[in-house]
Amino acid sequence: MDDEYSEFSTKIFIDSNVVLESLPLKDLPWSEIDPIGPILILLTPTLLSEVDSKKRDGRLGVRAREFNRLVAPIAEHGQPINLVADTTPRVDIAIARCHRIDWNSYDDLDPSQGDARIIAEVLNVRGVPEEQRLVVSQDINPLFMAQRHGLKTHHVSDNWLPRPAPSPQEKEIEKLKGQVREYANTEPQFDIKFEMQPGTVEVHQVQKLTEGEMSTLAKDIIAANPIQEQKQDLLSYMQYDSSLNDRYAKYERKTVPDFVRGYHKKLELLFGQIPFTLVVENIGKVRADHTNIDVQIVGGWFNTKPILAGRRPSAPKAKNPLLHPPLFRPTPTQRVVGRHEIEINEPRRSEQFSAQCADFRHGQKWMFSGVVWLDPHQEREIVIIVKVTAANLHGEISKPFKFDKSVICSHAFELVDQNSGKVVKDYYVKSLVEEAIKENKYGAFEWDRVSDDD
Tell me: the pLDDT tens digits for 44-79? Answer: 999 999 999 999 898 899 999 999 999 999 888 888
Stronger pLDDT, 327 or 194, i.e. the higher one = 194
What is the C-alpha separation between 76 and 82, in angstroms, rounded? Answer: 15
Least confident of 168-182, 205-219, 386-400: 168-182
Beta bridge partner(s), residue 423:
416
What is the C-alpha separation between 264 and 378, in angstroms, rounded? Answer: 16
What is the C-alpha separation between 357 and 365, in angstroms, rounded? Answer: 12
**pLDDT tens across 97-134, in order?**
999 999 999 989 999 999 999 999 999 999 999 999 99
Q: What is the pLDDT averaged over residues 280-294?
A: 94
Residue 332 is predicted with a pLDDT of: 62
φ/ψ of residue 276, rounded to 5: -140, 160
Q: What value does the mean pLDDT of the chain take?
A: 90
Percent of the chain past pLDDT 90, that is, above it, reads: 72
Stronger pLDDT, 146 or 197, i.e. the higher one = 146
β-pair type (365-374, 273-282): antiparallel
- Nearest in space to 67 (alpha carbons), one of 16, 1, 9, 101: 16
**pLDDT tens across 322-379, in order?**
665 555 566 666 667 788 899 999 999 999 999 999 999 999 999 999 999 999 998 8
Residue 454 is predicted with a pLDDT of: 53
Residue 323 is predicted with a pLDDT of: 64
What is the C-alpha separation between 349 and 327, in angstroms, rounded? Answer: 33
Query: What domains, with CATH codes, occur in the chain?
Result: 10-160 (3.40.50.1010), 188-213+260-316+340-447 (2.60.40.690)
Q: How confident is the model at residue 84 (pLDDT cuts 50, 70, 90)?
A: confident
Which uninterrupted H or E stretch holds 63? helix 61-77
CB 35 within 8 A of CB 5: no
- DSSP states along 113-174: SHHHHHHHHHHTBSSS-GGGEEEEES-HHHHHHHHHTT-EEEE--GGGSPPPPPPHHHHHHH
SS3 content of the chain, % helix, strand, coil (to 5): 30, 25, 45
**pLDDT tens across 410-431, in order?**
999 999 999 999 999 999 999 9
CA distances from 107 to 145, 150, 229 (A): 12, 15, 127
Residue 85 is predicted with a pLDDT of: 78
